[in-house]
Amino acid sequence: MSDQTQFQGSQQPARTNTLAIIALATSVLGISLAGIICGHIALSQIKRTGEQGQGMALAGVILGYLGFVAGIVLLFAAIAALLSGAYMAGL
């Protein structure tokens, strides 16, 4: 048995980047800014180290941006409703 065959079975599986997991979790939970930041950092680390988790990091970034945009739209809608007097009419 060669040395190469002996070491093939002892290789550890590639680790999943922790920040990728955090990015996806925070984006799903609605903490968009944390998801965006952690996702971008995770993508950079994954590119540099070769860790697993690129899909999770990318999903965290995308969901983070979608949540951020949705929050901005809701904020402007609330401001517009307040300024238009719709809250007084009971609408």
Q: Mean per-residue pLDDT for 34-50?
A: 97
What is the SS3 assignment for 81?
Answer: helix
Instruction: Yes or no: say if 12 and 24 are a contact pair by the CB < 8 Å rule.
Output: no
CB 14 within 8 A of CB 50: yes
pLDDT band at 77 (very low <50, low <70, confident <90, very high): very high
Which pLDDT score, from 0 to 100, does residue 90 have? Answer: 57
pLDDT at site 81: 86
Crossing angle of helices 54-84 and 32-49, in 10° steps, is 160
Mean pLDDT of 68-79: 95
Tens-digit pLDDT profile for residues 1-31: 455 555 555 577 789 999 999 999 999 999 9
Average pLDDT of the segment spanning 47-74: 97
